[in-house]
Amino acid sequence: MTPAVNTAQNGPPSPQVASGSGRALIEGAGLIEIESLHKAFDREVVLRGIDLSIDRGESLVIVGQSGSGKSVLLKCILGLAKPESGRILFRGRPLQGENRTEFLDQFGMLFQGGALFDSLTVWQNVAFRLLRGKNRKRGSEARAIAIEKLHRVGLEADVADRYPAELSGGMQKRVGLARAIGADPAVIFFDEPTTGLDPVRANVINALIRDIVDELGATAVTITHDMSSVRAIAHRVAMIHDGIIGWSGPVDSMDQSGNPQMEAFLNGGLSAARTD
């Protein structure tokens, strides 16, 4: 099934839009460009040709129903999963070898479950890259930076010496966020940042993400199906449906997308729409 495609571009980042062959291809001087990305697990095809451009300084939110391939796309970008075909370019160069290392050094990632290292204290988690990377810092200096980042996400210094297992889910998310911004990255990825949090805490995390991304001037790529997150942090929204980008456009035009899958997703009735 080929979904209807509708694209619109008039948000903060304004790349050119081209559509054809039932897909939306957003062209421009993207920081990260994804071209015709295919990924399958055994016989199950998850991504059927993703074309997407992510511009410097924009906050792109990728939405889609569970199992649509959002996380797989993110893993492909990060090099954690190898696509069958297609290209991912970072600053116009393929994400392989040295270029991938350069890319990894410039981004931060907030995982869905936090993915904090159990055996390390909170500050060691936050300062992980600072303690080991090529721009390694002394322990005391790294700790000071970690505590500053913890403050930035609303945590007091007294959590610095605790272990992740001693923290609540919301606090773990904040520590994960502090780790993601630990080395002042140029690109930050957020995988389901509000999953498992109550609405109040989810709003706090959304606000933190929005403020921090603006403050750092970073490019943000978020994967979520939480529409309150989308509205809070997105400049632009891309929807994955049936393994391709089914719709993409500024967050403001999301409600008038004219795309049946997007509308069904917004109304929480995607499954009903598919049945029809």
Nearer to another protein, 80 or 272 (CB): 80
d(CA 146, CA 178): 8
User: Which has the closest alpha carbon to 34: 17, 53, 21?
Assistant: 53
Query: Least distance from C-beta 247 to another protein, angstroms?
Result: 28
d(CA 45, CA 159): 43
Nearer to another protein, 23 or 179 (CB): 179
Nearer to another protein, 133 or 154 (CB): 133
Query: Least distance from C-beta 108 to another protein, angstroms?
Result: 8
Nearer to another protein, 71 or 206 (CB): 71
DSSP state string for 236-248: EEEEEETTEEEEE
Nearer to another protein, 164 or 260 (CB): 164
d(CA 194, CA 224): 8
Beta-sheet strands, E only, within the chain: 6-7, 16-20, 23-27, 32-41, 44-54, 59-63, 85-90, 93-94, 107-110, 187-191, 219-223, 236-241, 244-250
Nearer to another protein, 111 or 203 (CB): 111
Query: Least distance from C-beta 128 to another protein, angstroms?
Result: 5
Nearer to another protein, 36 or 112 (CB): 112
d(CA 115, CA 101): 21
Q: Which residues bind another protein (CB under 8 A)?
A: 75, 78-80, 101, 104-105, 107, 109, 111-113, 115-119, 128-129, 132-133
Query: Least distance from C-beta 61 to another protein, angstroms?
Result: 19
CB 222 within 8 A of CB 209: yes
- For the record, the structure tokens of 100 come out as 């991938």
Query: Least distance from C-beta 115 to another protein, angstroms?
Result: 4
Query: Least distance from C-beta 94 to another protein, angstroms?
Result: 18
Polymer length in residues for the chain:
276
User: Which has the closest alpha carbon to 244: 20, 11, 12?
Assistant: 20
d(CA 53, CA 185): 19
Query: Least distance from C-beta 101 to another protein, angstroms?
Result: 7
Alpha helices in 183-268 (DSSP H): 199-216, 227-233, 260-266
